[in-house]
Structure 1
Amino acid sequence: MPIPDYQMLMLPLLRCFADGKEHSVQGVVNTLAKEFSLTEEELRKLLPSVKQTVFYSRVGWAKTYMAKANLIEKVRRSRYVLTDMEREVLNENPSEIKDEFLARFPEFTGFRRRKRPKETQDKKEIYREEKTPEEVLEEAYAELRESLAQDEIWRITP
């Protein structure tokens, strides 16, 4: 199974908090890695920046979106708990949680409006569904470097 995208991680992430206890980000990452039966190779796969693993980044974005929708809240550094809103969502027993689901929460829509200028909302819409913002930036950077390298080769080749 490929590494799940951040939207596939949202509902399992919320379920991690269903016990009402405080959880660390690393603990949730480990729980989700087991739930999705990720291999060691998948868990070691790095983003192009080599600063973070793909899976950790995706769990981080899922956590950020859940927090922005006020479904979980930070109690201290890297420690989160569920909110009353999360209990309500889990009681609905949704089959999945994606950005469209979170759009019903004013806190989340406010976050999304501040985050993205209108003119970029329509561009590369497919990335929004499958990749984290960090992954989109990393890929754009890699594409730019490749393009510049090709331009330089053409410039110096007689």
Structure 2
Amino acid sequence: MAVPKYNEFMKPLLVCLSDGETHKSKEIQQNLAEYFHLTDEDRQELLPGSGQLVYKNRIGWASTYLKKAGLISSPARSIMQITDTGRQVVRENPLAIDGHYLSKFDSFRAFSSPKPASSSQSDIVSNPPCDLATPETPEEQLKQDYEMVLSKLSDDLYEKVMTLSPEKFELLVIDLIRAVGYGYPDESSFRHTGKTGDGGVDGIVQEDKFGFNLIYIQCSFSR
């Protein structure tokens, strides 16, 4: 099966702690992996770009939210224990425990609500609230938002480039080659040669001071 969303870990995690004893995080992770019948493949799934195991990351966020609601505590590093409030929730046996359920607790509302910017941060937007409507962790939300912004930026850039004249496009290519580190560090080492009868060469980059090593640029531009 796929790795459950972080909110789906909340109730089973709380039940795992319902004996009132202290438990190591690794023990809880193992118990929850077995409870959800996670395969070896599920347990090896990594968060893109972070190297963290997805199921451990989501259990971590589930425990963070439960702590913020006052349902569990952490008496020592990597140690979890249920609180009296948490035991009461287990006795009530709600159908599910998620962000909306946790919002009934004052401490969680204080955590998930927007934080006012300090006077020294008057130009900075206040901290956004937790999105209780999504099953994604904050890290996963951030990645999705980043990919969305990157996609829009790519589309906007493409549209902008497609409005350039062939000559300006050639100049843009030369600027890009300069930006990635090619050429001798002198403005004169980059020449735009694109014109009628240029033999297909639109630019020349001089790689050394004396011009012994040259890079010839040919641009292809079509709409």
TM norm structure 2: 0.61
Question: Are positions 1:53 and 2:53 aligned together?
Answer: yes
Q: Verify the 8 A CA contact 2:24 2:78 in the aligned structure 1.
A: yes
For 2:80, the aligned partner's letter is Y
- The one of 133, 139, 143 equivalent to 2:144 is 139
Q: Following the alignment from structure 1 to structure 2, what is the Cα–Cα distance between the partners of residues 47 and 115?
A: 28
Unaligned runs of 5+ residues in structure 2 are: 117-124, 162-172, 174-219
Please list the CA deviations of residues 59-117 of structure 1 after superposition, one character each: whole Å capped at 9, or x if unmatched: 01100000000000010111111100011111111121111111110010011114697
Deviation at 1:139, TM superposition (A): 2.3
Q: Following the alignment from structure 1 to structure 2, what is the Cα–Cα distance between the partners of residues 57 and 151?
A: 34
Structure 1 segments of 4 or more deviating over 3 A?
114-122, 142-157
2:98 counterpart residue number: 98
Q: Following the alignment from structure 1 to structure 2, what is the Cα–Cα distance between the partners of residues 128 and 16?
A: 25
Equivalent residue pairs, number: 155
Q: Which has the higher helix share?
A: 1
What does 1:1-150 correspond to in 2, within 5 Å? 1-114=1-114, 128-148=133-153
SS in 2 for 1:56: helix
TM norm structure 1: 0.84
Choose between structure 1 and 2 for higher RCO, CA contacts under 8 A separated by at least 6 residues: 1
Unaligned runs of 5+ residues in structure 1 are: none
Q: Following the alignment from structure 2 to structure 1, what is the Cα–Cα distance between the partners of residues 102 and 24?
A: 22
Q: Verify the 8 A CA contact 1:47 1:138 in the aligned structure 2.
A: no
Deviation at 1:23, TM superposition (A): 1.0
- Of 138-147 and 54-63, deviating more is 138-147
For 2:89, the aligned partner's letter is V
- Of 107-116 and 96-105, deviating more is 107-116
Deviation at 1:24, TM superposition (A): 1.5
Q: Verify the 8 A CA contact 2:114 2:129 in the aligned structure 1.
A: no
- Of 78-87 and 45-54, deviating more is 45-54
Q: Following the alignment from structure 2 to structure 1, what is the Cα–Cα distance between the partners of residues 81 and 127?
A: 35
Deviation at 1:144, TM superposition (A): 3.8
Q: Which of the pair has more CA radius of gyration?
A: 2
Q: Following the alignment from structure 1 to structure 2, what is the Cα–Cα distance between the partners of residues 77 and 115?
A: 27
- Of 139-148 and 3-12, deviating more is 139-148
Identical aligned residues as a percent: 35
